[in-house]
Structure 1
Amino acid sequence: MSEPLAIVPQTDGVHRFVAYVDEAGDEGFGKLAAGNTAQSHWLSLGAAVVNEENDRHLPGWRDEIMSAFVSKKNQRDLHFRDLNHDQKVHACATIATKPIGGCVISSNKITILDANELEIFKRPQHLYNYLTRFLLERITAACKRRASAEGAKASLKVVFSRRKGTDYDNMRQYLEFMRDGKEKMKPVRSIDWSVLNPADIAVENHKVRAGLQIADLFTSAIWKALEPNVYGRCEDRYAKELAGRLLKINGHTLNCGLTIIPPYSKCPLSSDQRAFLDWVIDQKKKARG
């Protein structure tokens, strides 16, 4: 299998990457606090990351998936939620063979209900922006590591899937605020601003960009591995198909290509959720063995 984050030789010493970002789950807390299953327990924000050359191949890779589905072969809008189980497995298995990197941040919203910051996270877009920060910290770091290994610099463009109720100008201002060092408390990690300029953020409709549709696969696959269904069970088959494409640092996926909030050691997990995350951790051990 190729590197999760492939590169193409450049003549100007800059490796250019594109990250397509989508989400799964919702930001709501009101019904969740009342024990209502209408709101998700988890909110996941994820990205499909490619180099500039492979960005051109994304529509063809999307079409490769769709052509296998008799009822959808002439369609060009791939939506994870519209696929049946077998189609989801096939879609994820197909993308797992492509030089695409995946990165997903998943927040266990249940843990926020008892937190002092609940009122803050109830504000529109606050949790979404919070996860965006985590996501971009990890992606910019991965792009820089990959480019630096070739003695080059890295540049990242980010394309968000248009989302109702999200103010992307507000997000740019939030990123600029961080970039300019105006936060009262210095974060443990930081977005690498040598890789990303807040001006290099775009917003597109899901149906017109194959990259956003592939980001949907990564994000929804991980979300399904963590979000309990009406029977309290989780489905990790899709995430396991894609696990090899998740970004890694020193061979480790957890807290790089897959990050959960709160961290694994502090997060209340069901047996299904813990089994999946233990499986992810175990892949490093098997690789060394």
Structure 2
Amino acid sequence: MSQGRLIAYIDEAGQRSRTPLSSDHFVMSAVIFREENRLDAEELLAKLRADLGRRPGDHLTWKNLKQHSQRLHAACSLATRDWLTISSVVVCKRHITQGTEGMNDDRAYLFTFRFLLERLSWFARDHDCELSYTLAHIVRFKKEKLREYEESLRSTPGCEVAWEALDSRGGRLDQPQRLELLQLADLSASATFAAFEPDRYGNTETRYLTELAPRLYRRKHNLTSYGLKMHPWGELTKAAYPWVATL
């Protein structure tokens, strides 16, 4: 019998598409906490708004934090909450050489989601809890597609989702403006994305993710299989992102 309930809020950063003009990376992140810490999460969001000069109830989004100091403060604030865990999947699109046939935007999104859902289910199973999850709504993606994919995954060879640890009703879709705790997932995904994706000058800011490192899901001290799933993860990507090994 489950010993408690976990909640995960999921958002993404970068473009799903794999075109020459799209972002080099696509990131999907989940913030995870126990049901009894919901008030703590709401208080964290309220404090961040106050710290960053926003009004109560304002939609807090990474792209509207224009200053480096504001973004760093958001990452550091998440990092100090020991009731919070973050798990992310980073798709390094330029390093993928196989399996992209027919990979449209929805399939790319769901392929990434599968990796993340596996990790969420393992985290819940290890904590003897049941986990419910909500994804930030994306354009032209209906709940029916999510349900079809969840059902398909149940019979997909090699899928490692621990279904018994997940809410049997499946995931939800909602808007961050309406379900405000999704905004914490936006901050997590965007901070991770900024550590990998070069800006217009070719610079990245790995410190955002370095600050978040204490909150990343680790199982038996293993990070890149759990809290920071890199895809693909071979010799080429390890050489391209050597700093990941230091997290």
Q: TM-score, normalized by length of structure 2?
A: 0.92
| 2:163 aligned counterpart, secondary structure | coil
Specify every segment of 5 or more residues in structure 2 that has no aligned partner in the other structure, as ranges. Answer: none
Specify every segment of 5 or more residues in structure 1 that has no aligned partner in the other structure, as ranges. Answer: 1-11, 148-153, 281-289
Question: Which structure is larger by alpha-carbon Rg, 1 or 2?
Answer: 1
In the TM superposition, what whole-angstrom CA distance separates every residue of 1:192-222 from its partner, at most 9, and x where no partner exists? 0101145231111112223211111111111
Structure 1 ranges of 4+ moved more than 4 A: none
| Superposed displacement of residue 144, structure 1 | 1.0
| 1:119 aligned counterpart, secondary structure | coil
What CA distance in whole angstroms lies between the structure 2 residues aligned with 1:211 and 1:274? 32
Q: Does 1:199 align with 2:169?
A: yes
| 1:200 aligned counterpart, secondary structure | coil
Q: Does 1:160 align with 2:135?
A: yes
What CA distance in whole angstroms lies between the structure 2 residues aligned with 1:27 and 1:13? 35
In the TM superposition, what whole-angstrom CA distance separates every residue of 1:16-38 from its partner, at most 9, and x where no partner exists? 111100000011223x1xxx3xx
1:248 corresponds to which letter in structure 2? R
What CA distance in whole angstroms lies between the structure 1 residues aligned with 2:101 and 2:2? 46
Is the contact between residue 150 and residue 170 of structure 2 (CA under 8 Å) also seen in structure 1? no
Which residue number in structure 2 is paired with residue 23 of structure 1?
12
| 1:103 aligned counterpart, secondary structure | strand
Is the contact between residue 44 and residue 219 of structure 1 (CA under 8 Å) also seen in structure 2? yes
Q: Which has the higher contact order (CA 8 A, sep 6+)?
A: 2
Q: Does 1:79 align with 2:53?
A: no
Is the contact between residue 48 and residue 211 of structure 1 (CA under 8 Å) also seen in structure 2? no
Is the contact between residue 172 and residue 199 of structure 1 (CA under 8 Å) also seen in structure 2? no
Is the contact between residue 17 and residue 105 of structure 2 (CA under 8 Å) also seen in structure 1? no
Is the contact between residue 33 and residue 84 of structure 2 (CA under 8 Å) also seen in structure 1? yes
User: What fraction of aligned residue pairs are identical, expressed as a percent?
Assistant: 24
Which residue number in structure 2 is paired with residue 5 of structure 1?
none
Which residue number in structure 2 is paired with residue 60 of structure 1?
43
| Superposed displacement of residue 133, structure 1 | 0.6
What CA distance in whole angstroms lies between the structure 2 residues aligned with 1:198 and 1:124? 26
> Judging changes above 3 Å, is the alpha-carbon distance between structure 1 residues 95 and 177 closer, same or farther for their aligned structure 2 residues?
same
What CA distance in whole angstroms lies between the structure 1 residues aligned with 2:24 and 2:163? 32
Is the contact between residue 147 and residue 170 of structure 2 (CA under 8 Å) also seen in structure 1? no
> Judging changes above 3 Å, is the alpha-carbon distance between structure 1 residues 194 and 13 closer, same or farther for their aligned structure 2 residues?
closer
Q: Does 1:174 align with 2:149?
A: yes
Is the contact between residue 41 and residue 109 of structure 1 (CA under 8 Å) also seen in structure 2? yes
Number of matched pairs: 245
Alignment of 1:250-289 (within 5 A): 250-267=220-237, 270=240, 273-275=241-243, 277-280=244-247
Alignment of 1:206-225 (within 5 A): 206-225=176-195
| Superposed displacement of residue 269, structure 1 | 5.2
In the TM superposition, what whole-angstrom CA distance separates every residue of 1:245-284 from its partner, at most 9, and x where no partner exists? 01110122211000110015342754xx322x1221xxxx
Is the contact between residue 176 and residue 198 of structure 1 (CA under 8 Å) also seen in structure 2? no
Which residue number in structure 2 is paired with residue 92 of structure 1?
75
Decide which moves more: 231-240 or 135-144: 231-240
CA RMSD in angstroms, aligned pairs only: 1.8
1:80 corresponds to which letter in structure 2? W
> Judging changes above 3 Å, is the alpha-carbon distance between structure 1 residues 13 and 267 closer, same or farther for their aligned structure 2 residues?
closer
Q: Does 1:144 align with 2:132?
A: no
2:141 corresponds to which letter in structure 1? T
